A and B are shown apart, each in its own frame.
Chain A
Amino acid sequence: GAGVSQSPSNKVTEKGKDVELRCDPISGHTALYWYRQSLGQGLEFLIYFQGNSAPDKSGLPSDRFSAERTGGSVSTLTIQRTQQEDSAVYLCASSLGGKDREQYFGPGTRLTVT
């Protein structure tokens, strides 16, 4: 079956603009995660959705970052008023949820803020 897909694969934007990154998880996976990977910070957790529960937003670096998950499937990560330090690869993952589950990662979106 299809894996986790993300779009766009690359995004170049000007500082101050808003961007939206999309993630399509594996069908049937109830848990969805966003991570960010940058040279200086490594792989960082951003936000996690599990079913109908309130998302765990503890990793979002500022209030410019938000995410939603519609219908328990597709998720959109929005970054408002982008800054150069937001440049990174944004990775989405999904899993069946629950304890001891492996996460399946998408190919990522490389965001460059100029």
Chain B
Amino acid sequence: SQQGEEDPQALSIQEGENATMNCSYKTSINNLQWYRQNSGRGLVHLILIRSNEREKHSGRLRVTLDTSKKSSSLLITASRAADTASYFCATDQGGSEKLVFGKGTKLTVNP
């Protein structure tokens, strides 16, 4: 079953704008991860945030985690056309190594 739920399901923005995607989950976690998928094939790991962290940065990516609300957000700043992809959050369900993925946000960055 899907634990993470991302919103919005689809997001279309202009190049240079910021994109924010949200994820909610239901059970306790040790970590939450964000992945990107191009063209419906392999996933690329973007960032992992642990349950005792509140914010993490990697390049143009900023991830926040609020364990009290069981939610996370992914912010992509100064978006580029190459950022066009589907973005998924995934949780480990309290220590299990198997990941439970949300349904994803499809981001389109228009040049």
Q: Number of residues in B with C-beta < 8 Å to the partner?
A: 25
Q: In A48-77, which residues have CB < 8 Å from any B CB?
A: 48, 50, 56, 58-59
Check A100 against B104 for contact (C-beta < 8 Å).
Answer: no
| B88 CB contact (under 8 Å) in A43, A58, A95, A99 | A43
Are A99 and B42 neighbours in the complex by a CB distance under 8 Å? no
Complex: A93 Cα to B96 Cα, angstroms = 15
The CA of A106 and the CA of B30, in the complex, are separated in Å by 24
Between-chain CB contacts (< 8 Å), 25 pairs: A4-B42, A35-B101, A42-B2, A42-B103, A43-B88, A43-B90, A43-B101, A45-B99, A45-B100, A48-B97, A56-B96, A56-B98, A89-B40, A89-B41, A91-B43, A98-B97, A99-B30, A99-B31, A99-B97, A100-B31, A100-B48, A105-B35, A105-B44, A107-B41, A108-B42
Which residues of B are in contact with A by a Cβ distance under 8 Å?
A: 2, 30-31, 33, 35, 40-45, 48, 50, 88, 90, 95-104
